[in-house]
Structure 1
Amino acid sequence: MSHYPPVDYYDKRIYHIDEQICALLHQRKAMTNNNPGCPPVNDVRDWAERFNLAQRFLELVFKDAWDEERYRPQIEPKEFRKYIPLMKWYEKDNYVYSTTYVAQYTNASVIKLMVDWDTSNEKRGFLSTKVSQLEMDIGKDYKVRKKGGSGTQGHRHYEYVVTPALPDDLSQLTLVIQEYRDFYKQNPTDFVIKWALP
């Protein structure tokens, strides 16, 4: 669904300015390999004052320009084909990370990551936040989107959608799990898992 304002009016004198804005956004993406980050708040404040713009407006512009991918149509898996067993397992600091299979669809693959830990010393109802930002990477030829996740005491699981679909022969691929301190994946920790597939 489009959220574009349903207006008929447009001052065509600014057409080339708007075109330049689009060109600069494209240049910004290319120069930063689509990872521009956000300018410091002090810079945004200075620009807002210099160009007579609302600071909050500029903050939203840069935030959305940073995370443009979330506005693109998301590919959902269609037409299930088969399961490919993986049976990968890794333990660190009494946390167990595992994945057992790849679900193959005609247009995508789905991989689930499980995290389990002992809860004997935890208060009832406690949910660990230690494993909240885990991202998956399978190389430059594949886009990986974390579709969601959930958890209970002693367990969390995450679902990742991979496009295009992985080949049925996974032997040339490596699955990497990287932990981040933040939602925007700017502050990686030293925690990394590398699994050679299958």
Structure 2
Amino acid sequence: MDELAAARRAMGHGSVPAGDAYTIEVRRRYDAQVDDVWDALTNPDRLRRWLKPVTGDLRLGGKFELDGDEHGEILRCEPPRLLKVSWLYGPDARPGTSEVEVRLAPGPDGDTEFELIHAAVVEEPLFPTYGPGAGGVGWDLALLALARMLTGGDETVEEREFVRRSAAAWGEAHLAAGGEPEHVAAAVAATSRFYAPDPT
């Protein structure tokens, strides 16, 4: 399956406690039951296989840290349908500036409809430089790993090509949301270089 083509992407506006935010949205279907997908999102042993190792107080109101710079608080947890967390980067991140919400719904064939919305107050120069691909490409890479874990697939994907196509797909979402073509093209190129720098 073409994992990039399996997802629908959109860019919009929303709000977080700190104020107005950009949103990136990914919707797709997983060929797995909703309880299995929920477990993949919340079970630390499985989460580390497709995202990163996680530590902390993994319950409503608890704080978590991923192996890296991401950390946050569990804001809503309604098994097996909805998980919402604050999603902050680095020790100096301002609380209330970034949130991720995942919604699951059972599909008609024992599958799962998956929706991820990441709302963030994005400061200069991040959004003007990279557009929605700044976070979107990272989520595409993570959701590719989630798909592989859920289905047991091990098909190889050339990462540079995947990143290039992901950045282009987020560029299309940016254009659909009213982005200026020249700005979008520059953001797609910058995002591709950031995630997959030229090896030469």
Pairwise same-fold verdict (TM > 0.5): no
**In proportion to residue count, which structure has more helix?**
2
- Whichever of the two has the greater Rg, that structure is 1
TM-score, normalised relative to structure 2: 0.30
**In proportion to residue count, which structure has more strand?**
1
TM-score, normalised relative to structure 1: 0.30
